[in-house]
Amino acid sequence: MIIVDLMARFKRYRYKIIVALLVIIILFYLYSQKEYGSELMSQQEFKQPMDRLSEQLLFQRQNKNLHSNNTTNDRFLQGAAGYCNFPNPASIKEGSHHLDTQGYKLQLALMMIRHGDRTPIHTLANRPNPRISCKFSKNEKQTHWIVDKFITRMQNVDKDGSFESMQRYPNQPYCRQSYLTPQGAVQELLNGLQAKHKYIDGLDLFQQDFSERKVLVKSTVYPRTYQSANAFMFGFLSDYDTRLKIYKAKTDFCSEKDSGLSCHCPGLEKYSEPLKNMRKMSKPLLQTIANFKRKMSRILSVDVKEIRSLTHVFDSLMVRVCHDVPLPCNKARDSCVDRTIVDTLWGLVGDDLLHHYLYNENHLKTQHLKFHPLLVEMYARMKNITKRSSSTKFVLYSGHDITLTPFLMLLGIYDGKWPPYASTLALELYSKEEGSKLHYFLKVIYNGVDRTRELKFCRGLDMCKFKYFEQFVNTHLENMGLDDYDSECLSS
């Protein structure tokens, strides 16, 4: 009876009930718009510059893309947007295969990469990250002929059981948290093509005799690095019908087999805390950071205590910059995150990273110890080439910013900037006949720029003598005030 009575009342008042519900929904929507603003609202202050940014950078544009040498006077394009590293096929310079090597012959290339563009790891205090499609768009497919070829090939290859059956390339309606995007895959495809045009077509690395045993690929066990490795190698070996095995690696690429050193290093704990006399941030810089956090807290309508790590804020904002999504706004306060704020954040993040990596002596010691096995492995691979006891010609290490940054720091060429997506670091070993002897030399290339002269152990030479690199490997721990690797790792 009660149910029948309720049904009768509903029929009698159903129109009033429906109207009341609609009013409640509209009022709630208007309140949320006033309080927080809309992620997709029109932002004339930001959207117009972003439209110009898209015109200049995305896909076939040529400003500051994929390690291109093109320059721009726009600080935003040079800084924060440069972090996106938008794909630029023009940077490959197809057909430019005749490099002037002045009698030097490339014998080995060791390439470390940061994965390509990904979705954020972190979120802003009360703002969900925008959903990014994990399906290749028409623009992405038209970037270069190799993209369609890559997709077709990946669709016809089974999952790799050794990598927890991860998908070989981005292929979901939307990318999950911290996953490689199609744009990131395109970046690595073009990186691979760039390496192909330089090393295979230009410097004849394989000496017209390619075989799978001449190539080794290592990747950390994350979808974004595994898929980046697949894309890079597809571009690099696009002339060959081959299916390479990718080997699992730790984030520091320590391999007991390849380095001959233990990866178990409890002694690292000694240096986990910064020294009491560590160089501190200046008061003006600390004040600038505090002001920035207050400004962000007002825009996001959150307590300033919720704006913690600058790198976390930057990570969550950059997906919007890199994918042309409007930045957060607060209609109630008529304020938005704009390109000036993002550019300011980029500078502060650089200061923060410099302080973390270069002004903390204990952190420096930690990274020298932690990446010593990888350095020894790379040295051993070069040494085996000089002894003619190895057939390996190319090694890829597919890792992260937390791999690349410490290694750059160890070499002494870290500039305090967060490595852009799809960054590359190459250690190249060359040989040259001088008289009756064969001598060996090292070059270090970071994001397409020759940094060899900046390596202190190379003594200002463009072609660094291999023996200088050998001395560096044997003495860098001592120069940091450390004992030998085994003694440091076993002590507590």
Q: Are 323 and 133 in contact (CB under 8 A)?
A: no
Residue 130 has pLDDT above 70, yes or no: yes
pLDDT surpassing 80 at residue 260? yes
Most confident of 24-38, 170-184, 266-280, 333-347: 170-184
Q: Report the candidate in 372, 320, 367 with the shortest Cα–Cα distance to residue 342.
A: 320
CA distance 405 to 415: 9
In this prediction, residues 148-161 reach a mean pLDDT of 88
- Looking at residue 395, its pLDDT comes to 98
3-class DSSP assignment, residue 216 = strand
- The band of 412, judged by pLDDT with boundaries at 50, 70 and 90, is very high
Structure tokens at 272: 């986990």
Q: Which residue would you say has higher pLDDT here, 31 or 180? A: 180
- With residue 157 as reference, give the H or E element that holds it: none
Percent of the chain predicted with pLDDT > 70 = 83
The residue-averaged pLDDT of 324-352 equals 89
CA pair distance 432, 191, nearest whole angstrom: 27
Q: Which of 45-54, 282-291, 371-380, 469-478 is predicted least confidently?
A: 45-54
Q: Which amino acid is at 109?
A: A
Give the sign of the dihedral formed by CA 315, CA 321, CA 326, CA 329: positive
What is the spatial distance between Cα 376 and Cα 74, in angstroms, rounded to a whole number?
41
**How many residues are there in the chain?**
492
Q: How confident is the model at residue 281 (pLDDT cuts 50, 70, 90)?
A: confident
Burial class (CB in 10 A: 0-12, 13-18, 19+), 181: buried
Mean pLDDT, rounded, for 173-189: 97
Beta bridge partners of 433: 438
Tell me which range, 4-13, 171-180, 236-245, is most confidently predicted by mean pLDDT.
Answer: 171-180
Of 273, 228, 218, residue with least CA distance to 251:
218
Q: CA-to-CA distance for 23 and 19, rounded, in angstroms?
A: 6
What pTM, to 2 d.p., does this model score?
A: 0.85
**pLDDT at residue 118, as a whole number:** 98
Q: Could you tell me the pLDDT band of residue 174, with boundaries at 50, 70 and 90? A: very high
| Lowest-confidence pick of 79-83, 148-152, 214-218, 394-398 | 79-83
pLDDT surpasses 70 at 397: yes
Beta bridge partners of 366: none
452 closest CA partner among 394, 412, 420, 403: 412
pLDDT score, position 314: 93
Residue 276: pLDDT over 90: no
Mean pLDDT of 235-252: 92
Q: For residue 100, what are the CA distances in angstroms to 103, 249, 275? A: 8, 35, 48
Q: Residue 2 — very low, low, confident or very high, per pLDDT cuts 50/70/90?
A: low
Question: Closest by alpha carbon to 225, among 308, 118, 323, 131?
Answer: 118
Q: Residue 282 above 90 pLDDT?
A: no
pLDDT of residue 366 exceeding 70, the answer is yes
pLDDT of residue 269 exceeding 50:
yes
Taking only the tens place, the pLDDT of each residue in 11-64 is 666 677 777 777 676 665 554 433 333 333 333 333 334 333 333 333 333 334
Q: Is the dihedral of CA 250, 252, 258, 260 positive or negative?
A: negative
Q: Is the pLDDT of residue 240 over 80?
A: yes
More confident residue, 48 or 411: 411
CA distance 414 to 354: 9
Tell the burial category of 199 from Cβ atoms under 10 Å away from its Cβ (0-12, 13-18, 19+): buried
CA–CA separation, 414 and 290 (whole Å): 26
Please, which pLDDT band fits residue 69 given cuts at 50, 70 and 90? very low
| Non-local CB neighbours of 67 within 8 Å, separated by 6+ positions | 85, 91, 194, 423, 424, 447, 448, 449
